[in-house]
Amino acid sequence: MILALALVLAAPAPPAHPHPHPHPAKDLRQLAQQHGIKIGTAVDIAALRDEPDYRQRLNREFTHVTAENAMKWESVEPERGVYTWDDADALVENARRNHQQIRGHTLLWHNQLPAWLTSGVEDGTIDATELREILREHITTQVRRYKGKIRAWDVVNEVVEEDGSLRQSIWLQHLGPGYIADAFRWAHRADPHARLFINDYNLEWNAPKIETTLSIVKDLKAQGVPIHGIGFQGHLGIQYDYPADWANVMRRFADLGLEVAITELDVRMVLPVTPEKLATQAEYYRRALTDCLSVRACREMTVWGFTDRHSWVPGWFEGEGAATLLDENLAPKPAYKALLAVRGRK
């Protein structure tokens, strides 16, 4: 007994801060669990329905999902008062079955609006009073439908121009800047437990856009408006420098009491693909996750599609593509493996 006690006392003490995850994660779901964050993807609903390999990979890898298009206004109300929920419902049901949380995207945007709405505003048959009521009804109807099922909503999307001015959308032109606060209030009333976000692109580096968005958040909070989070879209390209100050920008918003999320991450390249370009892409993905993990308030990293088979990039950026973690055959690219190797948050 004395000898055993002596051996115990003589044994070296374990390190004060053992590495929390000595082995790389086997997939993104395990990576999310290791770091205590949500790792998500935008979902192509047609692929979810029609492609078993896509569906299997989606459900295996991700703890969080966003409808790429199925919850946008033109999709859910293509005719006034006529709602088409099938695609959005399919995403919600698939997420429920696979223990995934959901980001609702998006309640208020200047794009992908139904033709009946934009034409009515343009020809004057919908005046400002009616437009405000239409917006209130849209937000209330959609949020109530998924009350308790959607963790977070992108309430307002891309409301700031590149020069830092408010975007000259039909909402600003006809309702004035107060429409932003109204949208958050209506969404909160419809589901008091949902996390409500302002979401935008180029917030990772664009100083005028950052400062204006910070001002919007401060103003909303001063009014007592329920805003809970900031979404950095994160549409990056390897032909541009990685936004080196991104983590500090995240902290500025976190200091206002907001949850931080990377909501639409992809890293495009000028084609053709080369091993060198893939290595740079992998480094950008790795840095994005590392930046998120360095900010305690960053609790979600969502990629805007996970396979090059279904990516918005080639259709919008001529000559560019290969922006996601998996290739067209769902084979992991270096970027996928780089994420699995990231260490950081306990």
**So which residues are the catalytic ones?**
158, 264
One-letter-per-residue 3-state SS of 82-130: ECCCHHHHHHHHHHHHCCCEEEEEEEECCCCCCHHHHHHHHCCCCCHHH
Q: Cβ neighbours of residue 67 under 8 Å, at least 6 residues apart?
A: 42, 43, 45, 87, 88, 91, 104, 105
Distance CA 287, CA 236 (A): 12
| Cα–Cα nearest to 267, from 330, 206, 336, 198 | 336
Distance CA 229, CA 216 (A): 12
- β-partners of residue 195 are 152
Report the amino acid identity of residue 106.
Answer: T
Tokens of 28: 């993104």
Distance CA 2, CA 222 (A): 67
Angle (nearest 5°) at CA 268 between 344 and 29: 40
Distance CA 54, CA 100 (A): 16
Distance CA 311, CA 323 (A): 7
Per DSSP, the three-state class of 199 is: strand
Query: 88 to each of 81, 207, 334, how far by Cα in Å?
Result: 17, 35, 32
